Amino acid sequence: MKFVREIGVSGKIGAASVLLFPTVFRSRDSRADFAHQLYKTGISTLPVVTVVSLFIGMILALQVGLELRRFNQEIYLGAAVMISLIREMAPFSCGLCLASCVGSSIAAEIGTMKVNDEIDALKIMGISPVKFLAVPRILALSVMAPLVAFYCCVIGTIGGGIVGSTQLGVDFGQYISSAMSIAEEKDLFVGLVKALVFGNVIGIVAVSEGLGTKLGATGVGKSTQRSVIVSFLLILMLGYMITRLCYQ
């Protein structure tokens, strides 16, 4: 029962984030706020995203490369790394980074506002918390996630190339041309759509958990934790479903 109600609330917030997205451009203040959210989502997470995707590319290259070497097929290392990155690992690791860095901070921020009566104060002033707080944050995540995923893919490919050329004796130029030859537009498109869906979901979950924060000392901690767990689960499940739909 409670679960159904929570889904309903999240659905409403999700619908609002789509229907109300023009409102983030309505005034100078809201545009500035949106720009700030874009910055927080995209730029401030870059260090973490860089390290994560670099290592994911390196791990992929090492695992796959050792297998390929047994069959003297190292020339395909670039292709193997690129395929897993562009289709799955880049959107996936982008989703995990955004959920743990950005989603958690949104849930904590809005949860703290709830506990401090700031959400109620907004309502009394006639300001919709969904329009004022949720929409710019969810939109920023949806816009930034594909860009971050693309960045993950680039950095991951470079990471794989470094391992390839230093550990496996694969020429870097050959690695890159192998990687580029396999990358299809469809893969890129599906990967970016996946990231967009993840970003949207992370935002909706974070805002819903934040707004649903229970009063009391542990409330904010609980909703932050829940926002990360729920986002992780949804990223995995939705990732599988989108793959299933697009690659039959």
Chain positions contacting other proteins, by CB under 8 A? 27, 29, 113, 116-118, 120-121, 123-127, 132
**In the complex, what is the shortest distance from the CB of residue 124 to other proteins, in angstroms, rounded to a whole number?**
5
- Smallest CA-to-CA distance from 148 within 65, 80, 248, 49 is with 49
In this complex, which beta carbon is closest to other proteins, that of residue 29 or of residue 185?
29
At residue 109, the 3 state secondary structure works out as helix
In this complex, which beta carbon is closest to other proteins, that of residue 30 or of residue 73?
30
Using the 8-state DSSP alphabet, how is residue 88 labeled?
I
Distance (Å) of CA 6 to CA 211, 213, 246: 11, 12, 29
Q: What does the alpha-carbon distance between residue 141 and residue 106 come to, in Å, rounded to a whole number?
A: 11
In this complex, which beta carbon is closest to other proteins, that of residue 33 or of residue 171?
33
**In the complex, what is the shortest distance from the CB of residue 21 to other proteins, in angstroms, rounded to a whole number?**
17
In this complex, which beta carbon is closest to other proteins, that of residue 181 or of residue 218?
218
Inter-residue contact 61 to 165 (CB < 8 Å)? no
**In the complex, what is the shortest distance from the CB of residue 29 to other proteins, in angstroms, rounded to a whole number?**
6
Q: Phi first, then psi: what are they for 8, rounded to 5°?
A: -60, -45
**In the complex, what is the shortest distance from the CB of residue 154 to other proteins, in angstroms, rounded to a whole number?**
33
